[in-house]
Amino acid sequence: MAGLEKAFSLGAKELEIRSDSELLVKQIKGEYRMKNEGLKPLFNKAVSLLGRFESYHIKYIPRAQNSEADALANKALDGGN
């Protein structure tokens, strides 16, 4: 969510999103429904944020094939250290 909000605040019009969650990618694309009631508010917020952009493309990339993004995500989760 923070990444979507930041991209919008910086004036991005188009996004290319890559995720190691195949489920999330298929849910965002509308191929799968969001069944988890606890996650629906977050999912709906993400979809709403995506609607602010002129266009976006979301793609599944297995973690093993995207080590740079995995390292950045882990760094962010560790508080940037």
Encode pLDDT of 27-76 as tens digits. Answer: 999 999 999 999 999 999 999 999 999 999 999 988 788 777 777 777 77
Among residues 68, 74, 70, 60, the alpha carbon closest in space to that of 23 is found at 60
Of the listed ranges 11-15, 19-23, 37-41, 76-80, the one predicted with least confidence: 76-80
Residue 20, pLDDT above cutoff 90? no
Query: How high is the pLDDT of residue 80?
Result: 59
Domain boundaries, the chain: 9-62
Residue 81: pLDDT band by 50, 70, 90 thresholds?
low
Strand partners, 59: 18
